[in-house]
Chains A and B, each alone.
Chain A
Amino acid sequence: MPVFIQSAESISPQDTFRSGNFLQEGLQPDKDYFTCLHPDYKLFINPGSLRRMSNVIRMGLTASKSCMEKAGLNQPGAIVIGSGLGCVRDTAKFLNQIIHQDEQLLNPTAFIQSTHNTVSGQIALLLGCRESNLTFSQKTLSFESALLDALLLLDEKEAGSVLVGGIDEIVEESFSLMVRGGCAKARMDADILESKTPGAVPGEGATFFLLSGEKKPESLARIEDMEIVNSCQGLNELKAQLSAFLIRNGITEADIDLLVSGRNGDAGSLEMYRGIEEVFGHSVIAAYKHLVGEYDTASAFGTWLASGIIHRNQVPDTVRLNGMTREKISKVLLFNHSRNKDFSFILLSDLTS
């Protein structure tokens, strides 16, 4: 069954939330990692509840509510969220309380809000949605798992529409632990995408889509298909998987107008990205993690970018990786991986396809 993106919303380190400015300028962070530009949450969440909420909850609630408003819907038929690390701030907060107070007289608020499905549960509360409500947490494939579940829900008509999203937050402490653990660079390079040092530049974001099977004039894009490849033996096997994916969709490499690459600044991951980018040497190639950073659900932002490009038929200069042009961006392929495993392909198209 065809699935269409009816609306999309993203709170990100760029001016994306309810913004008409489609990544015209690339804002650079003042730290060694990316943090979100936060909207005025009071306009979306009552101030009493807002006070106790961590950023990831605020971002998730606000982005999802705005996404629903854009779609002109009060309630979705299901809510499916992906989050690699869940509620990082509250998890760290409760853990630190346990340590510093020697397991005594602990305040339960941080514990309650540390649960991975806090955001999806809070969205259900906010929207009064009693339908299916899932949270996937599979590292860098968390959003992809949620998206797959959403497509299956729509396909078997278990839900008429699905609110699907990817959320992850970063706090100072998690950044320093990522650096210590060798997952992130201590210092950001001037040119992230061509970096020769190991480790990505971390970031965060909350991105939501309202999906349904109905093609409307205002629909943004169509989700054609997706493929998750958890492990494979090198670039050649991955290329074979990619070929099979394209064949399954009745297209060839030449049909892809735009490749959205998940390049993230980690020198160790670059070869695999370059390998797939080379397959699409005649297509427009774009990247986005130099604008929002790397995080477990960054591919949700990539999907937001792809749907925006298709809808506007415009590729912002800030995301271009090569000089190719196409008159009409009809088919877009997203490619992501995490340190040479956990690969994903998502295929989007315009409404005429």
Chain B
Amino acid sequence: MNIWVTGIGVASSIGLNVDQSLASFREGKRGLGEIKILDTIHRSEFKAGEIHLSNQQLMDLLEVPVDQYRNLTRTTLLGMIAARDACLDAGILGDDGILGDDGIPTALVSATTIGGMDKTECDYASGNHGSGYIQTHPCGDSTDKIAAYLGLHGYRTTLSTACSSGANAIIHAARLIRHGKADRVIAGGVDALSKFTLNGFNSLMILDKDYCQPFDRNRKGLNLGEGAGFIVLESEQLVRSRGSVKYCRLSGYANTNDAYHQTASSPDGEAAFGAMTRALEMSGIVAGEIDYINVHGTGTENNDASEGAALVRVFGKDVPPFSSTKSFTGHTLGAAAGLEAVFSVMAIRDGLVLPSLGFHEPIEDLGISPSTEMKEGLHIGHVLSNSFGFGGNNSSLIFSKQ
């Protein structure tokens, strides 16, 4: 059964919507820089893909009612922006033509790694235990609030599998549609920048103090980011009856586990290899038919070596054009696969190979180089998007034009 992508929405440090993001890719303008909003002692030490709007500014942008202010974490607010845009793009509109329930039950499958931690870490530290952070802390809270904001009453759930969370949300969403449990699902992920994750990745010593350099032999680590990305998935039947505008199909997906180490990927990228080959198999295409790969490409020593080894295993030395858009947005953790699903759909829609920044020299032994220039006007028929995470969690998605 075909599952179609009919809407996209994205918010990150390179743009609060699809058009702004596209402009940043065209201009080669990364969203990484000084931390201005998050209250951390590491502000001037690390670069991050922070959205330079305060929570209040985000609330104004979203026009949320004043009585909701205290219930909304930054995670929730970022998710609202991207999910709203995905709905508008897919034409999920009420009778009045503005955003709202169009009478077709719509599920929401979101993903986040830290949920409401951005509020928890402030209020817990200051002893403000009455602020409501106990209610907003769980991962599922942002999903509930986004659903309420969009007027969705259907099934909703949240995946939390570290940095592959967003891809797994899209996979669960696809299963719901395949089994007729839902006709339409908004799926993706969201995470806000937090002291918890910034300090966590710093304690693991995998943050680059400069701009990250995915797939470069001298790469030193990742830059964190924040944002949200959602896609609207619809069943073939709904697309036909509703006459939806189709961007592409979600033609293949797979989730595998490395069973190697809690945080590190295996050197030969066994699970990454498994995820890509199984997704290709489901897609019914051969490796050579992939036109663009949006790699996980965090810029850490371990990830890029492991993912690179897996890419060579799947594609040989002739790896199709690939790039890490994390060199623009930073690593947005639970949101990353959501953002990158949107970017993958854009690549098909507009015929693009998106650029990778910070690359100078290929990793020894691998000899593969990411695409460093924006390429336009191409025929992009199939895009592979990789997302890997702690706990050995590896997911691959394939989007196909036809």
Tell me the A residues contacting B by CB distance below 8 Å. 79, 84-86, 94-95, 98-99, 102-104, 106-108, 111-118, 120-122, 124-125, 127-139, 141-142, 145, 148-149, 152-153, 155-156, 177-178, 180-181, 183, 228, 230-231, 296
CB distance from B206 to the nearest CB of A (A): 10
Q: A111-B199, A137-B140, A138-B140 are in contact. Are A99 and B161 (CB under 8 A)?
A: no
Residues of A within 8 A of B254 (CB): 132
B256 near A130 (CB under 8 angstroms)?
Answer: yes
> Lowest 8 A-B CB distances belong to which pairs?
A121-B391, A181-B134, A111-B200, A116-B160, A137-B139, A108-B203, A139-B140, A138-B140
Q: A134-B168, A156-B178 are in contact. Are A115 and B134 (CB under 8 A)?
A: no
10 contacting pairs across A/B (C-beta < 8 A): A85-B137, A111-B203, A117-B393, A118-B390, A124-B257, A124-B259, A125-B262, A130-B270, A181-B135, A230-B153
A118 near B262 (CB under 8 angstroms)?
Answer: yes
Q: Mark B245-272, 1 if CB is under 8 A from A, else 0.
A: 0000000001111111111000000110
Q: Mark B18-62, 1 if CB is under 8 A from A, else 0.
A: 000000000000000000000011100000000000000000000
Residue of A nearest to B263 (CB): A112
CB distance from A204 to the nearest CB of B (A): 15
Q: Mark B155-197, 1 if CB is under 8 A from A, else 0.
A: 1111111100000100010011011010000000000000110
B178 near A104 (CB under 8 angstroms)?
Answer: no
B262 near A149 (CB under 8 angstroms)?
Answer: no
Which of B121-129, B214-222, B304-312, B342-350 binds A?
B121-129
Q: Given the complex of chains A and B, what is the CA–CA distance between A128 and B254 in angstroms?
A: 18
Residue of A nearest to B179 (CB): A152
Tell me the B residues contacting A by CB distance below 8 Å. 40-42, 113, 115, 120-121, 124-125, 129-130, 132, 134-135, 137-141, 143-144, 147, 153-162, 168, 172, 175-176, 178-179, 181, 195-196, 199-200, 202-204, 254-263, 270-271, 274, 389-393
CB distance from A298 to the nearest CB of B (A): 15
Residues of A within 8 A of B129 (CB): 177, 180-181
Residue of A nearest to B108 (CB): A230
Which of A106, A117, A129 has most chain B Cβ within 10 Å?
A117
Q: Given the complex of chains A and B, what is the CA–CA distance between A339 and B322 in angstroms?
A: 48
Q: Which of B154, B159, B195, B393 touches A121 (beta carbons < 8 Å)?
A: B393
Q: Given the complex of chains A and B, what is the CA–CA distance between A94 and B199 in angstroms?
A: 9
Residues of A within 8 A of B200 (CB): 94, 106, 108, 111-112, 114
Q: A106-B202, A130-B271 are in contact. Are A112 and B390 (CB under 8 A)?
A: yes
Residues of B within 8 A of A121 (CB): 257, 262, 390-393
Q: A156-B178, A230-B153 are in contact. Are A135 and B258 (CB under 8 A)?
A: no
A152 near B181 (CB under 8 angstroms)?
Answer: yes
Which of A112, A113, A134 has most chain B Cβ within 10 Å?
A134
B140 near A142 (CB under 8 angstroms)?
Answer: yes
Residue of B nearest to A174 (CB): B134
Q: Given the complex of chains A and B, what is the CA–CA distance between A312 and B342 in angstroms?
A: 51
CB distance from B34 to the nearest CB of A (A): 17
Q: Given the complex of chains A and B, what is the CA–CA distance between A115 and B121 in angstroms?
A: 16
Residue of B nearest to A173 (CB): B124
B259 near A128 (CB under 8 angstroms)?
Answer: yes
Q: Which of B41, B162, B259 touches A129 (beta carbons < 8 Å)?
A: B259
Q: Which of A99, A132, A148, A153 touches B256 (beta carbons < 8 Å)?
A: A132
CB distance from B127 to the nearest CB of A (A): 10
B196 near A98 (CB under 8 angstroms)?
Answer: yes
CB distance from B7 to the nearest CB of A (A): 21
Q: A111-B200, A125-B259, A133-B392 are in contact. Are A230 and B154 (CB under 8 A)?
A: yes
A141 near B157 (CB under 8 angstroms)?
Answer: yes
Q: A138-B139, A177-B134, A181-B135 are in contact. Are A95 and B160 (CB under 8 A)?
A: no
Residues of A within 8 A of B159 (CB): 134-137
Residues of A within 8 A of B138 (CB): 84-85, 137, 139, 296
A145 near B157 (CB under 8 angstroms)?
Answer: yes
Q: A94-B200, A125-B392, A139-B140 are in contact. Are A133 and B160 (CB under 8 A)?
A: no
Which of B42, B134, B271 has most chain A Cβ within 10 Å?
B134
Q: Given the complex of chains A and B, what is the CA–CA distance between A94 and B255 in angstroms?
A: 29
Q: Given the complex of chains A and B, what is the CA–CA distance between A316 and B202 in angstroms?
A: 52
Residue of A nearest to B201 (CB): A111
Q: Which of B41, B154, B195, B257 touches A130 (beta carbons < 8 Å)?
A: B257
Q: Which of A86, A112, A116, A149 touches B204 (beta carbons < 8 Å)?
A: A112
B257 near A132 (CB under 8 angstroms)?
Answer: yes
Residue of B nearest to A121 (CB): B391
B155 near A115 (CB under 8 angstroms)?
Answer: no
Q: Given the complex of chains A and B, what is the CA–CA distance between A231 and B101 in angstroms?
A: 15
Residues of A within 8 A of B153 (CB): 230-231
Residues of A within 8 A of B121 (CB): 95, 98
| 6 further contact pairs, Cβ within 8 A, besides A127-B259, A136-B157 | A84-B138, A138-B143, A138-B157, A178-B134, A181-B129, A230-B144
Residues of B within 8 A of A230 (CB): 144, 147, 153-156
B262 near A122 (CB under 8 angstroms)?
Answer: yes
B259 near A156 (CB under 8 angstroms)?
Answer: no
Q: Given the complex of chains A and B, what is the CA–CA distance between A155 and B178 in angstroms?
A: 11
Residues of B within 8 A of A111 (CB): 196, 199-200, 203-204
Q: Which of B41, B137, B255 touches A103 (beta carbons < 8 Å)?
A: B41
Residue of A nearest to B138 (CB): A139
Q: Given the complex of chains A and B, what is the CA–CA distance between A332 and B4 in angstroms?
A: 38
Residues of A within 8 A of B125 (CB): 95, 98-99
Q: Given the complex of chains A and B, what is the CA–CA distance between A99 and B144 in angstroms?
A: 29
Residues of A within 8 A of B140 (CB): 84, 137-139, 141-142
Residues of A within 8 A of B124 (CB): 95, 99
Which of B121, B137, B199 has most chain A Cβ within 10 Å?
B199
Residue of B nearest to A126 (CB): B259
B203 near A153 (CB under 8 angstroms)?
Answer: no
CB distance from A130 to the nearest CB of B (A): 5
Residue of A nearest to B110 (CB): A138
Q: Given the complex of chains A and B, what is the CA–CA distance between A125 and B132 in angstroms?
A: 37
CB distance from B301 to the nearest CB of A (A): 16
Residues of B within 8 A of A130 (CB): 256-259, 270-271, 274
Q: Which of A84, A85, A94, A112 touches B262 (beta carbons < 8 Å)?
A: A112
Residue of A nearest to B111 (CB): A137
Residue of B nearest to A151 (CB): B179
CB distance from A141 to the nearest CB of B (A): 7
Residues of B within 8 A of A85 (CB): 137-138
Residues of B within 8 A of A134 (CB): 159, 161, 168, 172, 255
CB distance from B146 to the nearest CB of A (A): 12
Residues of A within 8 A of B139 (CB): 86, 116, 137-138
Q: A141-B140, A149-B175 are in contact. Are A108 and B204 (CB under 8 A)?
A: yes
